[in-house]
Amino acid sequence: MGQRLGDVSAPARLAGPEEGISREELALAARNHGLPLEALRYDVTPPGLHYVLTHYDIPWADGEGWELAVGGRVRRPLTLGVGELRARPPATRRVTLECAGNGRALLSPRPVSQPWLTEAVGTADWTGVPLRDLLAEAGVASDAVEVVFTGADHGVERGVEQDYERALPLDVAMGEEDDDVLVAYAMNGVPLPPQHGYPLRLVVPGWYGMAHVKWLRAITVVDTPFTGFQQTVAYRLRQNPDEEGEPVARIAPRALLVPPGFPDFMSRARIVRPGPVELEGRAWSGRGTVTGVEVSTDDGASWHAAELEAPSADGTGRWAWRRWRLRWSAEPGRHLLCARATDSRGNRQPVRQPWNRGGFANNQVQPVPVLCVDDGERQDR
Ligand X SMILES: Nc1nc2c(c(=O)[nH]1)N[C@H]1C(S)=C(S)[C@@H](COP(=O)(O)O)O[C@H]1N2
Q: Write out the residues near ligand X by the rule CB under 6 A.
A: 50-55, 97, 99, 151, 153, 164, 196, 209-210, 212-215
The H or E element containing residue 170 is: helix 170-173
Four-residue CA torsion sign, 125, 135, 210, 287: positive
Q: Which is nearer to ligand X, 103 or 209 (CB)?
A: 209
From the CB of 167, what's the least distance to ligand X, in Å? 13
Which residue, 85 or 210, has its beta carbon nearer to Mo ion? Answer: 210
Q: Which does 214 bind (CB under 5 to 8 A by kind): Mo ion, ligand X, none?
A: ligand X
Of these, 37, 52, 53, 203, which contacts Mo ion (CB under 5 A)? 53
Work out what residue 51 binds among ligand X, Mo ion, none; the CB cut-off runs from 5 to 8 Å by kind: ligand X
* Three-point CA angle 215, 219, 222, nearest 5°: 145
Measured from the CB of residue 208, what is the shortest distance to Mo ion in angstroms?
7
Instruction: Report in angstroms how near the CB of residue 209 gets to Mo ion at its nearest.
Output: 4
* Whole-number Å distance between alpha carbons of 154 and 56: 6
> Considering CB distances under 5 to 8 angstroms, the limit depending on partner class, which of ligand X, Mo ion, none binds residue 174?
none
Q: Which does 212 bind (CB under 5 to 8 A by kind): Mo ion, ligand X, none?
A: ligand X
Burial (Cβ within 10 Å: 0-12, 13-18, ≥19) of residue 376: exposed
**Beta-ladder partners of 69:** 79, 218
Q: Which one of ligand X, Mo ion, none is in contact with 215 (Cβ closer than 5 to 8 A by kind)?
A: ligand X
Q: Which one, 210 or 293, has the nearer CB to Mo ion?
A: 210
Q: Among residues 196 and 348, whose Cβ is nearest to ligand X?
A: 196
CB-based contact 200:66 (threshold 8 Å): yes
Q: In this complex, which beta carbon is closest to ligand X, that of residue 113 or of residue 297?
A: 113
99 binds Mo ion (CB under 5 A): yes
Size of the site for Mo ion (CB under 5 A): 4
Calculate the alpha carbon distances from 10 to 5, 247, 292, 355 in Å: 12, 19, 42, 20
Rounded Cα distance between 68 and 168, Å, is: 17
Output the smallest distance, CB 52 to ligand X, in A.
Answer: 4
Helix, strand counts (H, E) of the chain = 4, 22
**Whole-number Å distance between alpha carbons of 169 and 192:** 26
Residue of 312, 308, 344, 276 lying closest to 92 (CA atoms): 312
- 360 alpha-carbon distance from chain centroid: 11
253 binds Mo ion (CB under 5 A): no
CA torsion 90→286→317→33, rounded to 10°? -80
Q: Could you give the string, one character per residue 202-231, with x where binding to Mo ion holds by CB under 5 A and - elsewhere? A: -------xx---------------------
Sheet holding 307-308, edge to edge: 254-257, 275-284, 322-330, 307-308
Q: Which does 213 bind (CB under 5 to 8 A by kind): Mo ion, ligand X, none?
A: ligand X
- Which residue lies nearer to ligand X by CB, 153 or 294? 153
Q: Which is nearer to Mo ion, 210 or 326 (CB)?
A: 210
Q: Which residues bind Mo ion (CB under 5 A)?
A: 53, 99, 209-210
